[in-house]
Amino acid sequence: MNNTAPDIEEFYTREFSVYNPPGSVGVSCNGRGLVSAVMLDQDALELGPVELGQELVMLGRLARAKYRVALRLFTLAAAEAEGRNVERADRMCRRVQKLPTPEEYADMESARFADRYPA
């Protein structure tokens, strides 16, 4: 058992960023799940307002999902460090909080990018 519980204050300072495949638009969420930054390069400014808005919303949702994956992992690490039942904490993460696994996030990101950027 790991006796060092993760620090929630340190978690709150983290940033979870997602960029579109061309790298022209990005959105970050902070460790509280709030959008904290929007990044646009010159190419992003060539998108129309509707398309840019759709891109920002999609990336914002992915950034928040990425934060939720990290929150799930943080919760499980804290449960283990505190000697609590990790399986019970995992059930709470999945059933109550609906926090995605890293694999679920990867599938979600792939699906969103495939929808917007077909090969």
Give a yes or no: residue 3 inside a domain: no
Tens digit of pLDDT for each residue in 33-49?
A: 999 999 999 999 999 99
| Domain-embedded: residue 83 | yes
The verdict on residue 50 lying in a domain is yes
Domain hosting residue 23, numbered range: 8-116
The answer to whether position 1 is within a domain reads no
CATH code for position 75: 3.30.1310
Long-range pairs for 55-62 at CB < 8 Å and ≥24 separation? Answer: 55/20, 55/25, 55/116, 56/25, 56/27, 58/112, 58/116, 59/18, 59/19, 59/20, 59/25, 59/26, 59/27, 60/27, 60/29, 60/35, 61/112, 62/18, 62/27, 62/108, 62/109, 62/112
Give tens-digit pLDDT for 8-27.
Answer: 999 999 999 999 999 999 99
pTM of the shown model:
0.90
Total tally of structural domains belonging to the chain: 1
Question: Does residue 2 lie in a domain region?
Answer: no
